[in-house]
């Protein structure tokens, strides 16, 4: 048994050694673009909520990057509290409930997009679940619809609190929803681009690790990774993500390949987030000392959780 473990470990290391650097760079570029696009979408929602205030894009980008980086090391998504606190210090007269509700506006698009992707992937046969109905004669699309509904209910439960905040603060935080054209241009299209970048990240990493890279499979992996963080028991969904990917990719790759890909993807994304968060923290806290920026970010997150 010991020899088997060492052999599997050697296979994992060998896979890391053979990675295509060009694909890794492309994945990093897609990931940074996703950060920027999501930050811009959030900034546009904030700007609509506070039309008399100047909402600087740099401040929102910095707050978003710091929050994402902290979410990788703090459980219960403590980084989200840091995002809200940082934006509040940069937007005069802003309040925590209204800023939180603007984040809920962004979440609404994510909820719809995730549900649509699950539906398309299910109907396309990319989900490793047989759509043969348990009751003879029931069409497969009914089973697919049931899967999508269940997934949507899980998402709705996860986002129940921010959605309640959105309803309570819709007059201000959800102001952009009253102008559909502005929402479509400044939020929906921007977030759609961000989702495309997220799929691009996974596609490049699948190819880099020698797995069969297709857009539907990349979308499936992205959804599974997102689902692993719905119940934030561990920072970044560590452990849960590996289990879900082992299930989702079991029909197209070996256990060693899946473990290598899962660990590599999570470690790589966490590293990029850490670098972006560190640079953003230095900007947000106006310091040239990286450790001081880290300490300030952690204090801010803990003070608001």
Q: How confident is the model at residue 135 (pLDDT cuts 50, 70, 90)?
A: very low
Arithmetic mean of pLDDT over the chain: 78
Q: How confident is the model at residue 257 (pLDDT cuts 50, 70, 90)?
A: confident
pLDDT at position 73 over 70: yes
φ and ψ of 137, to 5 deg:
95, -15
Q: Which residue has better confidence, 260 or 227?
A: 260
Burial degree of 107 (CB within 10 A; 0-12, 13-18, 19+): middle
| Rounded percentage of the chain residues whose pLDDT exceeds 90 | 29
pLDDT value at position 131?
Answer: 43
pLDDT at position 46 over 60: yes
Q: Which residue has better confidence, 111 or 201?
A: 201
Lowest mean pLDDT among 72-86, 132-146, 214-228, 281-295: 132-146
pLDDT digits (tens, 9 = 90+) for 103-128: 989 988 988 888 888 777 767 665 55
- Ramachandran region, residue 43 (left: φ > 0; alpha: ψ -120 to 50; beta: rest): alpha
């Amino acid at each position: 048994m010991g020899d088997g473990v060492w052999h599997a470990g050697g296979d994992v290391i060998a896979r890391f050694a053979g990675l295509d650097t060009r694909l890794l760079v492309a994945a990093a570029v897609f990931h940074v673009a996703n950060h920027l696009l999501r930050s811009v979408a959030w900034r546009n929602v904030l700007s609509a909520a506070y039309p008399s205030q100047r909402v600087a894009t740099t401040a929102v980008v910095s707050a978003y990057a710091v929050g994402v980086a902290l979410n990788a090391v703090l459980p219960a998504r403590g980084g989200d509290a840091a995002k809200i606190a940082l934006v509040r210090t940069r937007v005069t007269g802003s309040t925590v409930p209204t800023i939180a509700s603007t984040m809920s506006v962004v979440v609404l698009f994510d909820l719809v997009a995730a549900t649509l992707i699950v539906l398309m992937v299910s109907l396309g046969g990319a989900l490793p679940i047989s759509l043969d109905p348990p009751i003879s004669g029931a069409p497969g699309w009914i089973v697919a619809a049931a899967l999508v509904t269940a997934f949507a209910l899980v998402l709705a439960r996860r986002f129940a609190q921010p959605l309640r905040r959105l309803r309570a603060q819709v007059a201000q935080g959800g102001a952009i929803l009253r102008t559909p054209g502005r929402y479509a241009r400044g939020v929906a299209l921007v977030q759609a681009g961000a989702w495309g970048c997220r799929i691009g990240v996974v596609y490049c990493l699948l190819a880099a690790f020698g797995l069969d890279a297709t857009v539907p499979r990349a979308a499936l992996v992205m959804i599974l990774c997102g689902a692993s963080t719905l119940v934030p028991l561990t920072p970044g969904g560590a452990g849960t993500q590996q289990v879900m990917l082992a299930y989702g990719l079991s029909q197209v790759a070996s256990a060693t390949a899946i473990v290598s890909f899962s660990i590599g993807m999570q470690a790589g994304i966490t590293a990029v987030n850490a670098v972006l968060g560190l640079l953003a923290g230095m900007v947000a806290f106006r310091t040239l000392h990286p450790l001081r920026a880290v300490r300030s970010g952690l204090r801010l997150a803990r003070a608001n959780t």
